[in-house]
């Protein structure tokens, strides 16, 4: 049986591990509860830029050696930045846990941020920004959240702006790390062939620098902005989002949102896919989405279609929303949505990396490890009545923000 253990060290670091006795590998994550939500306009993009710069060499290891030390043992090293967290993680076989731990520890404590590397990497991240600009299906989500979270730091894109990236200096990085990467928002999380006591010993051996305590405080999200945005691009298809803000991780109703999203537009058996794509053949991409943060989520519908079909697609979508507001879903449809959600969760747990991610986010957001059984119980408890109530609460088109990327100045208006 898998065993999860949690220890808080005297310096404030939380160490969480899950031992899986039947696997030979591990996933180890060093998490900081810091992301683009903790930035200001002037330094927007610095969390993601730092994620890159931590791989550019330490006092003891060059950038090449950081990856060689892991890859030469058949392991894997990577990182990601979100609006609320940054995670550096490694995967490897059981005998190589110490080496992986030492490399991650070295990166987060001893990175040198050489000025010439800062300039070089800025250009790499600007290229990444251009890639997003060239991908309307990615760019539209940034534009949508910039509009809907207007006035809150959640509106800042994770990648930042070209101007900021060009202007970052070594000292900016050092100061941001000092202010935001402290013991009190640092989590070491592992899943797989892991011995918890060994993790504690490794932390004692390799975490030797005083990272201090951060005093940052996030502004809670207070009020959604109902705002439309349009981006002109020479592209063949129009890309559109309509949606609004709703319950975040701190609400028990988020599970109801997941089930509703499944019914509405996730998977090829969903209502939107069947109506817009299968029966009418007017959109290749159409899905609902739920993008969650601690105190708020965005719930919306994304689709791409030919310019001349935009209005027809919108009316078909609004028709499906009206149906959900007017009539309870069937027992069969509700059961199918629940089974799909539960299946997705359970199948994802076959990966130690997914397990590590799930454990970390559960602990960071809820200060406890939500068991899979607890999550499944929450899904099972969603009723037809709750779906109807939530649909009526959410699907008020006058409260939707709408974003569009197109080569034509299309206006999304309210359907009669």
Give me the active site residues, please: 51
Q: Are strands 186-192 and 25-32 parallel, antiparallel or unpaired?
A: antiparallel
Contact 359, 352 (CB under 8 A): no
The answer to whether the beta carbons of residues 208 and 109 sit under 8 Å apart is yes
Which residue matches tokens 């994304």? 302
Spatial distance between the Cα atoms of 71 and 108, rounded to a whole number of angstroms? 19
**Residue 359, Cβ neighbours under 10 Å: how many?**
23
Q: Please classify residue 371 by burial: count the beta carbons closer than 10 Å to its beta carbon, then call 0-12 exposed, 13-18 middle and 19+ buried.
A: exposed
Region of 279 (left: φ > 0; alpha: ψ -120 to 50; beta: rest) is alpha
Spatial separation of the C-alpha atoms in residues 317 and 414, rounded to whole Å: 12
What contacts 24+ positions apart, CB below 8 Å, involve 114-123? 114/56, 114/57, 114/170, 115/169, 115/170, 117/53, 117/56, 117/57, 117/63, 118/53, 118/168, 118/169, 118/170, 118/173, 121/49, 121/52, 121/53, 121/56, 122/49, 122/165, 122/166, 122/168
SS3 of the chain: helix, strand, coil, percent, to 5: 50, 20, 30
From CA 265, how far away is CA 273, in angstroms rounded? 6
149 secondary structure, DSSP code: T
Contacts 24+ apart (CB under 8 A), 201-208: 202/97, 202/98, 202/101, 202/102, 203/9, 203/13, 203/15, 203/101, 206/101, 206/102, 206/105, 206/106, 207/11, 207/13, 207/105, 207/109, 208/109
Helix (H) or strand (E) holding 191: strand 186-192
Measured distance CA(131)–CA(138) in Å, rounded: 9
d(CA 389, CA 280): 29
């Amino acid at each position: 049986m898998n065993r999860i253990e949690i220890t808080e060290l005297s310096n404030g670091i939380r160490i969480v591990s899950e031992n899986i006795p039947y696997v030979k590998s591990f996933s180890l994550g060093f998490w900081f509860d810091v992301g683009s939500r903790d930035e200001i306009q002037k330094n927007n993009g610095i969390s993601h830029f730092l994620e890159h710069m931590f791989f550019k060499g330490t006092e003891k290891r060059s950038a090449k050696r950081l990856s060689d030390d892991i890859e030469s043992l058949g392991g894997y090293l990577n990182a990601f930045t979100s609006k609320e967290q940054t995670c550096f993680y490694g995967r490897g076989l059981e005998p190589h846990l110490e080496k992986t731990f030492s490399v991650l520890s070295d990166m987060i404590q001893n990175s040198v941020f050489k000025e010439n590397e800062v300039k070089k990497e800025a250009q790499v991240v600007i290229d990444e920004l251009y890639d997003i600009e060239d991908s309307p299906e990615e760019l539209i989500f940034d534009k949508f959240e910039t509009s809907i979270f207007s006035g809150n730091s959640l509106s800042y894109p994770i990648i930042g702006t070209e101007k900021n990236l060009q202007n970052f200096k070594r000292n900016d990085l050092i100061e941001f790390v000092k202010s935001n990467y402290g013991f009190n928002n640092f989590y070491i999380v592992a899943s797989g062939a892991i011995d918890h006591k060994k993790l504690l010993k490794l932390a004692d051996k390799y975490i030797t620098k005083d990272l201090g305590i951060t005093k940052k405080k996030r502004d809670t999200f207070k009020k959604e902005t109902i705002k439309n945005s349009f981006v002109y691009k020479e592209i063949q298809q129009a890309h559109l989002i309509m949606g609004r803000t709703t319950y975040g991780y701190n609400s028990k109703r988020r599970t109801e949102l997941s089930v509703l999203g499944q019914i509405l537009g996730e998977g090829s058996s969903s209502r939107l896919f069947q109506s817009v794509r299968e029966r009418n053949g007017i959109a290749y991409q159409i899905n609902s989405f739920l993008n969650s943060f601690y105190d708020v989520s965005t719930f919306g519908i994304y689709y791409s279609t030919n310019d001349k079909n935009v209005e027809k697609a919108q009316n078909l979508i609004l028709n499906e929303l009206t149906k959900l507001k007017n009539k309870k879903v069937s027992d069969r449809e509700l059961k199918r949505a629940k089974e799909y959600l539960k299946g997705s969760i359970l199948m994802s747990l076959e990966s130690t990396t997914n397990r590590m991610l799930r454990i970390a986010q559960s602990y960071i957001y809820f200060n406890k490890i939500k068991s899979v059984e607890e999550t499944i119980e929450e899904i099972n408890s969603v009723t037809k009545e709750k779906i109807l109530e939530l649909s009526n609460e959410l699907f008020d088109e006058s409260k939707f923000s709408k974003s569009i990327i197109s080569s034509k100045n299309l206006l999304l208006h309210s359907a009669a």
